Amino acid sequence: MESKVFTLDQTTIKKLLTIFKLVIPDFQRNFVWKKTKKEQLLASLFRGFPIGAITLYENQNAYYIIDGLQRINTLNQYLSRPESIISFEQFYKKAEPDILIFLEEKQLEDRSVSLKKQIKEWYGRLSGLYEFEKVSILYAVLKKGDGQTEKAFESLELVEELLEILKAKIQISYDDIALIIYRGSKEDLPELFKNINTGSVALSQYEILQSVWNDYRLEKSILTDTCEAFERELELIQNDYEISAIKEAGSFDIFKNIVGVNHLICCKEECDSIFKFAGFKRLAEPKTFENGFTKYYENDSIAFELYSALLCNAPNKIVKAIDQIYQESYQEQGPGEAGVRGAGAGEAGERKPGEREARVRGAGAGEAGVRKAGVRDLGEGDPQTKIEEISYFIQKLNHIILEAVDTAIKEVKSRKAELLESKYHALYLLAGIIFSRYDIDVKHLTINKTDPNRKIYEACMDIERHKKEKWFVDENRQVGFFNIKIEELLGLKKGSIPADNQSGILKIRIRDSVISANTVKEFYYKIFDYLNKNFDIRSSIPYATGRKRYLINWTNHHINGDFFFTPIQVGDYYVETHKSRSGAMRDVYNYIKSMGIDVGYVE
């Protein structure tokens, strides 16, 4: 497991802005505070007060801003175009006493009025970072003054003396700034951003991913709905920031698309019937836009978690979920891991007229299109073709998510049911609806519509059972419990695990012995008792199934310090049995295989 590394450091504002390779998302570059907050920041710096540490994520010599974006943007704006924050009148009021002394010493008192005009022109022309330090710019402006002023400042040394006076009234003398640099896992960035960030644009706790997904572009013309939704979301925060949101939105990418999906969900008036958790709030005054859309709710994360749950079977794997879309190929999958998610009952169909080849295929209609199975051809041809392929995949994914929200609203209303106050319950419901109707193949960027899988659909819609058994509440209010329930849904998909395992019997072969049981706990006890008696497995303890969870450990604890949910003790070690049947089969297979022991599934 990659450790979380935080380093404390100190630098200067000038080095931070000029030497550090700061990565700022295009749509954020023009988000800066209103003038009052900018003036407050500068006033603190001019008085030598600290302005708090800047938190950065370092990756491959680039620095992504976790906390401090508005401070950096404000400083960059001021040190490039000081007049945009401090008016010339304010600036000259500070500089005038020293300028008059300078003119008196040089016997140029009669040049004060004309010189002020030239300085005003110079101040207004500054447009580059630390341009106010360049003598050539001031010299060029003075050369364009009236004849007497031009003659008075023929000497470059005299211009340099004047520049020192002017610089002193612009530059920040006390410019030391503290840095906290994070060099840990990229997957932890959303949670870190959520916990640390103190003043960023209020789009999402996942905002930091806009930086690390900087190259994950999409074709705007294919995704007009979510592009327009993102632009509407920007409109909502213009009152808090000095921006021109629509004009400065930049190119379209996966982050903006998911924000757009989130916005479209929040525009569904009755969706509070499925989103019952505290993070999904009804706006006191719904916001209606010019094109007729109305936003009724405030939420910044549900679409990110839906994407993650659909693509990785877990709501907290959004980095992995999006990375795998843009990678040329999967990392090698372990035994039992399906490359296709959802209901597997239908055959792939022909595309509709005008639809791009091998993109989204219907159920029961014939051949599977032009792409050969197991081959991903996105790397071929020009990059624009790849972007279009991904964009069509994302377009369909957006469609089935919004379709599932509509279906869930309708079903909950017709059944007169009420969901638990848990975001995991809503995510489970929506994922189940989608898995019952579609296969999502990220590797080949296809979404296949299937024959309806009633088992998956009824399992996810059995709301009374969920409530009776206290799913997603109390001790089950954990992401681990959600992941298990998603795996159980996928276990209802034909062909995900051997048929006997679906009907209730878990079986596995270890060398010449077949071990079987009816429950995961019994199954694991028999397996590890067998291993304990026939092999020395001490060097393979502990064994992790992810970044946070152990399958087996010497103590009753996971990697993150949490207790095992449902442990059994075999000999001197503990085994976690809180798993779905398919997950239990996969994890123990991988564990035994990792020790070099002959192991296999039993049909």
The pLDDT of residue 52 = 87
Nearest of 316, 342, 488 to residue 401 by alpha carbon: 342
The side-by-side arrangement of strands in the sheet containing 573-576 is 543-544, 550-553, 573-576, 567-570
Examine the domain organization and report whether 446 and 512 are in the same domain.
no
Query: Whole-angstrom Cα distance, residue 558 to residue 573?
Result: 13
- The DSSP result for 486-546, as a single string, is HHHHHHTSTTSS-HHHHHT-EEEEETTEEEEESSHHHHHHHHHHHHHHH---GGG-SEESS
For residues 496 and 338, the answer to whether their CB atoms sit within 8 Å is yes
Examine the domain organization and report whether 435 and 424 are in the same domain.
yes
Examine the domain organization and report whether 281 and 407 are in the same domain.
yes
Nearest of 458, 513, 485, 511 to residue 582 by alpha carbon: 485
* Biggest alpha carbon–alpha carbon distance for the chain: 105
Which neighbouring-strand residues pair with 7? 181
CA 81 to chain CA mean position, Å: 32
Ramachandran bin of 470, using left for φ above 0, alpha for ψ from -120 to 50, beta for the remaining angles? left
Examine the domain organization and report whether 448 and 568 are in the same domain.
no
Examine the domain organization and report whether 175 and 221 are in the same domain.
no
Which residues, other chains included, contact 160 with Cβ-Cβ below 8 Å and sequence gap of 6+?
135
CA 336-342-343 angle, to 5 degrees, is 100
Query: Whole-angstrom Cα distance, residue 247 to residue 558?
Result: 48
Cis peptide bond prior to 353, omega within 30° of 0: no
SS (H, E, C) 103-131: HHHCCCHHHHHHHHHHHHHHHHHCCCCCH
For residues 463 and 419, the answer to whether their CB atoms sit within 8 Å is yes
Query: Whole-angstrom Cα distance, residue 192 to residue 66?
Result: 8
Chosen domain end from 471, 496, 521: 496
583 token code pair? 């997950």
- The DSSP result for 341-381, as a single string, is EE---S-B-PPPTTPPTTSEE-BSSS---SSPTT---TTSS
Query: Whole-angstrom Cα distance, residue 166 to residue 154?
Result: 18
In a domain? residue 376? no
In a domain? residue 117? yes
Examine the domain organization and report whether 177 and 66 are in the same domain.
yes
CA 94-95-100 angle, to 5 degrees, is 125
What is the β-pairing status of strands 573-576 and 550-553?
Answer: antiparallel
Chosen domain end from 496, 531, 548: 496
Examine the domain organization and report whether 188 and 219 are in the same domain.
no
Which residues, other chains included, contact 299 with Cβ-Cβ below 8 Å and sequence gap of 6+?
262, 265, 266, 275, 279, 280, 281
Examine the domain organization and report whether 447 and 592 are in the same domain.
no
Examine the domain organization and report whether 476 and 579 are in the same domain.
no
* List of the chain residues with pLDDT < 50: 1-3, 201-202, 244-249, 328-380, 495-503
Burial of 512 (0-12, 13-18, 19+ CB in 10 A): exposed
SS3 267: coil
In a domain? residue 449? yes
Quick one: how many helices (H) and strands (E) in the chain? Answer: 22, 18
Examine the domain organization and report whether 470 and 348 are in the same domain.
yes
Examine the domain organization and report whether 454 and 525 are in the same domain.
no
Number of structural domains found in the chain: 3
Query: Whole-angstrom Cα distance, residue 437 to residue 432?
Result: 9
| Structure confidence by residue, pLDDT tens digits, 177-189 | 999 898 888 777 7
Count CB-CB contacts under 10 A for residue 23.
Answer: 16
In a domain? residue 178? yes
- Using CA atoms of 246, 251, 254, 258 in order, give the dihedral in degrees to the nearest 10: 10
- Domain limits for position 138: 1-212
Query: Whole-angstrom Cα distance, residue 544 to residue 591?
Result: 9
DSSP state of 251: S
Examine the domain organization and report whether 340 and 353 are in the same domain.
yes
Chosen domain end from 463, 496, 529: 496
In a domain? residue 197? yes
82 token code pair? 């000081």
The pLDDT of residue 373 = 30
Query: Whole-angstrom Cα distance, residue 522 to residue 456?
Result: 26
In a domain? residue 156? yes
SS3 292: coil
In a domain? residue 295? yes
Which residues, other chains included, contact 472 with Cβ-Cβ below 8 Å and sequence gap of 6+?
420, 422, 424, 425, 428, 466, 481, 482
Angle between helix 112-125 and 135-142 (nearest 10) = 130
In a domain? residue 373? no
The pLDDT of residue 30 = 57
